[in-house]
Chain A
Amino acid sequence: MTLLRYSLRSIAGVKVRFALTTLAVIVGVALTVGVLISTDGLRASLNDLSGKIYEKYDFTVRAASDVGDRNEGVPLLPPELADEIASTDGVEAVAGLAQEFNVVAIDGDGNAIEPGVGRQLGFGWPESEVLSTIYVYDDGISRQPVGPDEFAIDHFTGRENGFIIGQRYDVATPGGTFDFELVGYLYFIDPETRVTLQIVAWDMPTARQLLHDGGGYDLIHGKLSPGASFEEVVAAIGGRLGPDIEVISQQENINESNQEFASNINLLRNLLLAFAVIVLIISGFITYNTFTLVMGQRIRELGLLRVLGAERRQIAQVVAVEALLVGIVATILGLGLGIGVAFGIRGALDSSGAHLPDSDLIIGGWTIVAAVVIGIGVTMVTATWPALQARRVTPMVALADDPEIDPFNRRRALIVGSAVGVVGLILLLVGLLAGLSTSQIVIPLGVGALLMLLGVNIVAPALARPMSLILGWPADRLFSINGRLARLNAARNPRRTATTASALMIGLAMVSLVTVLGTSFKQTLNDQLKDSVEADWLVCSGGCNNAEGALS
């Protein structure tokens, strides 16, 4: 009990240092928790969306190769096939689907509208209302485009770019740039939901002409008659399908789509987690330095405990208990702050143009497990070495003039530290100059930064003495006796000076890192979204033909 009290009071004795240490771990935990919560939420709302998208389609006919990463070259389905399926018993309605990416509307000033973080999609208005996922925006004047001279645009894009209903605009399509009359705004699935798509739509014959050069459909969605079974219908139309064409059920559609969301979200999540890991590594350095420093400052007290009969184990426990307390506090506060971070990430997503449906705050079991493992784990792991050092404290340490466990080896520190630092620097340069993609860059940058920090951490004590003497010279001049005392004091115990200095340095590095990350955060999110989420969301919502495979 007294030992626990001793730990608590020792923490209280260096409150500020422990507060900063805990803060560092809190930030790491909060980032991780925030990423997990927000990606869980994202997953839930996307799954919710795919449920809504496929709600209407009881089955979908598609080219058998039209799966996986959905590259170009998937053959189109002939229009006659749609008619044949429509005439099959048990099929109530059928709608072919035609779409193409990189269809760009040109605004009133003659500028092609910017894709932003989204993708620009040309779309044929489905000919069956019960099977359509796009709708006329309810503003009183919008209507569905009919005939080769009319088009509609989604209301987000239209209003943002000043498209006025009733005026004529150019649209760049695979078949060339033509002008059409804008007859209405449209929305996809839900008027308030936007997944950074820009949709331009024509009626189906016009779209097929413009997008597929008069060819067939990307997909054919179907609706069953009341009472008809999916199996019977598949059996009935099976004979008419070629070997390269397959029929999938609503559930298969949803599963495939969810799976793709999941892999895209995992990609996003891993990228965000990489930031959290960097912060955690820095927190690790800070906790390590703090525990080493605090252990060093109290080494005489620990020696006294040994004189009074404390076992080595009990001394190590003192350090471990302090780490545990820091870890527990950091975990709890980090979890709380993480919810805030989750809202922040959500806000960043929204401001980058994705208006996803709101989802409930999901704090999954794994999120809590991760917070505990990280918050307590980081502190306990980084406190392990100081705790092992504490085990080596002998009673005689209490009586030594200058108590130290390990005599400091300056040469070794310089050599090992520089070597580690140089390797880190090389990795950093490789990461920066080799022209890797955002996700590839993380490893060399992360490991490089880690090694550089480690190197500086090792070298610092060896340089502290000359540095403090040189840097202290002005203080010496300016503040006479106080400056001189400070300077000599700094030089007297180089290891303590260096530990304090490198804690400051690492703190500073952390602040700059967070700033840099903060500014690059949106950009990265945008890239990431552009690379995957909406593209596949779109692919899975409409059809998958000819989508430039975002994941390829």
Chain B
Amino acid sequence: MSDASTLATETTAAARAVEAVKVYGSGETEVRALDGVDITFERGKFTAIMGPSGSGKSTLMHCMAALDNLTGGQAFIGDTDLSSLTDKELTMLRRDRVGFIFQAFNLVPTLNAIENITLPMDLARREPDQEWVDSVIATVGLQDRLTHRPNELSGGQQQRVAVSRALASQPEIIFADEPTGNLDSRSGNDVLKFMREAVDDLGQTIVMVTHDAKAASFADRTVFLADGLLQGEMLNPTADQILDYMKILQVGQFVKGIPEGATMEEVLEYMKDLDD
């Protein structure tokens, strides 16, 4: 274990998880959302995380982004072991080193777009780098929407505000949990293109959870999670390659998931569920 961390220190990892375990509840209601995940997110790369619903993707995001604690194992941002930090230090880390984008409810409804974008820096009482903020805003095309409140913006625009906010404070890493999940495909595409540009042009590190193979195809690398465990990964995959890979994983699940002595009808029902 200590060998592994020494080794990792020398790489350019922006964040990594070592034997990450997260258990919710206890006794009969115990859920092992993460069951020993080892993963490294490289600096300056766009990583997608895919997997079936309930596979632990969000849990992984939250624990990596210092929003929640692991039950076991370690999570690192750069070289910082999150489990060694106090509550206040975790707050500082969220504020200064990490960005986060949710699927929904990303913005403070009473603040307008620009106030939302500069909020993390305001909380840190830090002057925003105005040039940088302007260039981020220009890239997302929000110049004429800056004084609008969230409820005066479309879903796509809101999500672009959220992405701008994450970028504006230039964090070491941005975690995005299904950022396009609530958007129509055109708005989703805009947001994805924008994140891609942030990685290519600005050198930002982004980790994104998605259900959508097409979204994942924007990433440099796609990792697959199921049952709280890493199942495999692909580098620069196309959407079709991802879908094929998912099918293989699903068959694996399928075989695993059939209860012993199931009738033919039950097997068909189970397959139908998977298709949904």
Contact = CB atoms under 8 A, between A and B. Distances in A.
Contacts of B91: 306, 309-312
Interface in A174-227: none
B94 A308 contact: yes
Interface in A276-326: 300-301, 304-312, 314
Contacts of B62: 396, 399
A305 B123 contact: yes
Interface string B38-76: 000000000000000000001000100011100000000
A300 B110 CA distance: 13
A301 B58 CA distance: 19
Given A309-B95, A310-B91, A399-B67, 5 more contacts: A6-B108, A301-B109, A309-B92, A309-B124, A398-B102
B88 interface: yes
Interface in B195-253: none
A1 B122 contact: yes
B116 to A, nearest CB: 9
Contacts of B100: 307-308
A448 B119 CA distance: 47
Enumerate the 10 nearest inter-chain pairs by beta-carbon distance, A residue then B residue, closest first. Answer: A309-B95, A9-B110, A2-B122, A395-B67, A309-B94, A308-B120, A310-B123, A309-B123, A311-B91, A309-B120
A396 B123 contact: no
Contacts of A304: 105-106, 108
Contacts of B68: 395-396
A3 B95 CA distance: 15
29 contacts: A1-B122, A2-B111, A2-B115, A2-B119, A2-B122, A5-B111, A6-B111, A13-B110, A301-B109, A301-B110, A304-B105, A306-B91, A307-B67, A307-B94, A307-B100, A308-B94, A308-B119, A308-B120, A308-B165, A309-B94, A309-B96, A309-B124, A310-B123, A311-B91, A311-B123, A395-B94, A396-B62, A398-B102, A399-B67
Nearest to B90: A395
Contacts of A12: 110
B92 A9 contact: no
B164 interface: no
A10 interface: yes
Contacts of A2: 111, 115, 118-119, 122-123
A6 B110 contact: yes
Contacts of A5: 111, 115
B87 interface: yes
Contacts of A309: 91-92, 94-96, 120, 123-124
Given A399-B62, A399-B102, A312 B87 contact: yes
A395 B91 CA distance: 9
Interface in A4-24: 5-6, 9-10, 12-13
Contact of B105 (A310, A314, A398): A398
Contacts of A310: 91, 95, 123
Contacts, number: 72
Nearest to B102: A399
Contacts of A308: 94-95, 100, 119-120, 123, 165
B85 to A, nearest CB: 13
Interface string B118-137: 11101110000000000000
Interface residues of B, number: 28
- Residue among B66, B67, B105, B124 with the highest chain A CB neighbour number at 10 A: B67
B135 to A, nearest CB: 21
Contacts of B119: 2, 305, 308
Nearest to B177: A399
Interface of B: 58, 62, 66-68, 87-88, 91-92, 94-96, 100, 102, 105-106, 108-111, 115, 118-120, 122-124, 165
Nearest to B92: A309
B115 to A, nearest CB: 6
A300 B88 contact: no
A301 B108 contact: yes
Contacts of B92: 309
A311 B88 contact: yes
Contacts of A311: 88, 91, 123
B105 A300 contact: yes
A113 B118 CA distance: 79
A308 B168 CA distance: 12
B102 A3 contact: no
Nearest to A307: B100
A273 B110 CA distance: 40
Contacts of A6: 108, 110-111
Contacts of A312: 87, 91
Nearest to A9: B110
A60 to B, nearest CB: 71
Contact of B110 (A1, A10, A395): A10
B68 to A, nearest CB: 5
A306 B95 CA distance: 9
A309 B119 CA distance: 9
A350 B99 CA distance: 69
Contacts of A13: 110
Interface in A528-544: none
A311 B58 CA distance: 23
A305 B94 CA distance: 11
A396 B92 CA distance: 16
A237 B272 CA distance: 120
